[in-house]
Amino acid sequence: MQSLPLLRRFSKKGLTLNLGSGFTLLASVMKIGELARASGASISAVRFYERKGLLPSPDRTESGYRAYGAEDVSRLRLVLAARRNGFSLAEIGACLSTYMGEDPPCENVAVLVADKVKTLDRQIEGMRALRAHLSKQLAAWQSGDLPQVKGCCAILESAQGEREDETTS
């Protein structure tokens, strides 16, 4: 079977694909502002995610405008959702790199999510310990049990020494 050249032409209405044998496909094309509105991102966020490689470099219209499609909206929404869920740009990039347009990479994503949950559990434990320590320091200061120090504040200065002792033990 002979392959036909795929001709692309951008217009204000969209992308025209000439598939040969009289078949033409018209796909909707968006400019950057339209993509931003459709995905709930700002224009600067779209450019930022392009620079970081999380969005592919878009095709350009004859007049130089970026031309985006529905797949770009989906990908940008995924990036934004991942950011809202606390994933770093590197983690999102790893997630996106596993997706090659075939079946969704749920197993790979599940591993990344499980790692994220473990990291969050460690951070929560650290925050709980810090909260308990600071509450203890504040209560000691309020009751007058903190030693007097020459410096900024007995709460922080005595807390600093105790926290350093805890982390080096």
Structure tokens, 63: 């007049």
Full DSSP string of 51-76: HTTSSPPPEE-TTS-EEB-HHHHHHH
Q: Considering the entire predicted model, what is its pTM?
A: 0.63
Give residue-wise pLDDT tens across range 32-78. Answer: 999 999 999 999 999 999 999 999 988 888 888 889 998 899 899 99
Residue 148's SS3 state is coil
User: What are the chain's domains?
Assistant: 1-69 (1.10.1660)
Question: Picking from 16-20, 36-40, 130-134, 156-160, which range would have the lowest pLDDT averaged per residue?
Answer: 16-20
Can you give the pLDDT at residue 48? 97
Do you know the residue count of the chain? Answer: 169
Can you give the pLDDT at residue 34? 92
Can you give the pLDDT at residue 126? 96
* Per-residue pLDDT at 3 exceeds 50: no
